[in-house]
A and B are shown apart, each in its own frame.
Chain A
Amino acid sequence: MDVNNIAALSGNIAVVGYGLAAVGPGIGVGLVVSKTIESIARQPELAAKLQVTMWLGIAFTEALALIGLATPFIFV
């Protein structure tokens, strides 16, 4: 074995990108939902308004996931 090449990785680096495209929005959606639960627990009468606002937050966050996961069509 070559001493300069102690460890070797094989595979497609793009897979790491797809993982990141899922992890980032996953954390984002988790934050949106957790804050909504907290808000509804504090003020249950605002639930309807908070749920609609939460939907908008999830829609914006998941757009990143959809765009990131569709990149195999242009990068590979």
Chain B
Amino acid sequence: MSNSISQLFSQVLKQGALLIAAIALVGGAIGWFVASTAGLLSALIGSGMALVFVSMTAISVWLGGRLSLGGFFGVVMGGWIVKLLGFIIFVAVLKSATFIVGPILFGCVVASVLGSLALDAIAVMRSRIPTVSSN
């Protein structure tokens, strides 16, 4: 995978992590005022979940790009299934937890996912990827 694509993915991952950290801060402050420690914890867990599951897609495409075509799609699609299963297990475990404030966690997940999507789209639009690669 060419250098410009590696730069794009590292930029996307860094910017995404910064944005989600900011959402965790704001969400944590709101959660603290609404529901004290449980609200703060919910915001941090929601943002953390979004960070892990959103970053996994970019990392799988980034790492898979170094493999053959079959390996690339195996890593990307396999990563997708593992991610969804992990997300379902996370939700099932956390749903009944007493220290979770559902609406705050959900709000942080949605804000983080949508925010990082917007960042991804802007980064791809601004990127300069060579049309013809040597691979």
Kindly state the separation between the CA atoms of A58 and B64 in the bound complex, as whole angstroms.
14
- Interface majority SS on A: helix, strand, loop or mixed? helix
Please tell me if the beta carbons of B129 and A52 are within 8 angstroms of each other in the complex. yes
B20 within 8 A of A: no
Please tell me if the beta carbons of A70 and B91 are within 8 angstroms of each other in the complex. yes
Known A22-B84, A66-B50, A73-B106; judge A56-B124 contact (CB<8 A).
yes
The proximity string for B residues 45-83 relative to A, scoring 1 for CB distances below 8 Å and 0 otherwise, is: 000001001100110010001000100110011001001
Considering only residues 48-76 of chain A, those with a C-beta below 8 Å from chain B are 48-49, 51-56, 58-60, 62-63, 65-67, 69-74, 76
Please tell me if the beta carbons of B57 and A55 are within 8 angstroms of each other in the complex. yes
Known A33-B76, A45-B132, A58-B76; judge A66-B124 contact (CB<8 A).
no
Please tell me if the beta carbons of A70 and B109 are within 8 angstroms of each other in the complex. yes
Kindly state the separation between the CA atoms of A46 and B83 in the bound complex, as whole angstroms.
28
Please tell me if the beta carbons of B117 and A63 are within 8 angstroms of each other in the complex. yes
Please tell me if the beta carbons of A55 and B131 are within 8 angstroms of each other in the complex. no
Q: Which residues of A contact B (CB under 8 A)?
A: 18, 22, 29, 33, 37, 40, 45-49, 51-56, 58-60, 62-63, 65-67, 69-74, 76
Kindly state the separation between the CA atoms of A56 and B76 in the bound complex, as whole angstroms.
12
Kindly state the separation between the CA atoms of A48 and B65 in the bound complex, as whole angstroms.
8
Residues of chain A lying within 8 A (CB to CB) of residue B57: 55, 58-59, 62
Kindly state the separation between the CA atoms of A53 and B44 in the bound complex, as whole angstroms.
31
Residues of chain B lying within 8 A (CB to CB) of residue A46: 131-132
Residues of chain B lying within 8 A (CB to CB) of residue A63: 113-114, 117
Please tell me if the beta carbons of B58 and A55 are within 8 angstroms of each other in the complex. yes
Please tell me if the beta carbons of B65 and A72 are within 8 angstroms of each other in the complex. no
Kindly state the separation between the CA atoms of A38 and B4 in the bound complex, as whole angstroms.
24
